[in-house]
């Protein structure tokens, strides 16, 4: 059974031990530092979760609520900052299950109706583009800091 658990002082170190190909995703340490800096600067931060299979940490996922003025024709949306599954746990369905859980949370957000989840991926033959396309994400043709922007209608 897959679950998402908020990152806390009790689980952050075990999540930071997880590793994936850094060519395609930032380390969990970097992601947590960025989330903290964002929180300090803005008074709110992204959703950050460890991905667990029962009690075993297998990955990390982080998404940010983006206000109306940010993009998406003036409608709020979520941006998937990071999603990683540890090298030892890939290709077991954990990424899809975790993303499904995150989408359920987004759809029931007290922030109101959200119609879009956006992300960006490092292009490459062994990169995550195919994974996201299989889940329904589509490329927008836009680039964000050398990464391809993809979106999923919710």
Class of the 2-153 domain? alpha beta
pLDDT tens for 42-86 read 888 899 999 999 999 999 999 998 876 566 677 888 999 999 999
For residues 99-119, give the mean pLDDT: 88
Nearest Cα neighbor of 147 from 76, 69, 94, 82 is 82
Q: What is the mean pLDDT of residues 114-140?
A: 90
| Residues 6 or more apart in contact with residue 8 via CB below 8 angstroms | none
- pLDDT attached to residue 68: 62
**Cβ atoms of residues 117 and 78 within 8 Å:** yes
Mean pLDDT of the chain: 90
pLDDT over 90 (residue 123) = no
Going by the DSSP 8-state scheme, the letter that residue 21 receives in this structure is -
Token pair belonging to 143 = 């680039």
Residue 14 has pLDDT above 80, yes or no: yes
Distance of alpha carbon 5 from alpha carbon 49, whole angstroms: 5
Mean pLDDT of all residues in 123-142: 90
What's the pLDDT score for residue 53? 97
- The first and second tokens of residue 65, run together, are 């609520």
Model confidence, pTM: 0.90
3-state secondary structure 75-87: CCEEEEEEEEECH
- Three-state DSSP at 33 gives helix
């Amino acid at each position: 059974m897959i679950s998402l658990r908020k990152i806390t002082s009790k689980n952050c170190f075990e999540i930071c031990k997880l590793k994936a190909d850094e060519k395609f995703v930032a380390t969990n340490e970097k992601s947590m530092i960025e989330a903290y800096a964002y929180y300090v600067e803005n008074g709110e931060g992204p959703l950050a979760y460890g991905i667990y299979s029962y009690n075993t940490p297998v990955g990390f996922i982080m998404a940010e609520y983006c206000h109306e003025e940010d993009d998406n024709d003036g409608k709020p949306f979520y941006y998937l900052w990071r999603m990683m599954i540890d090298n030892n746990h890939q290709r077991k369905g954990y990424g899809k299950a975790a993303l499904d859980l995150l989408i359920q949370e987004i759809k029931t957000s007290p922030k109101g109706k959200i119609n879009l989840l956006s992300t960006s991926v490092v292009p490459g033959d062994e990169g995550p583009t195919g994974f996201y396309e299989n889940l329904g994400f589509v490329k927008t043709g836009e680039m964000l800091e050398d990464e391809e922007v993809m979106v999923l209608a919710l």
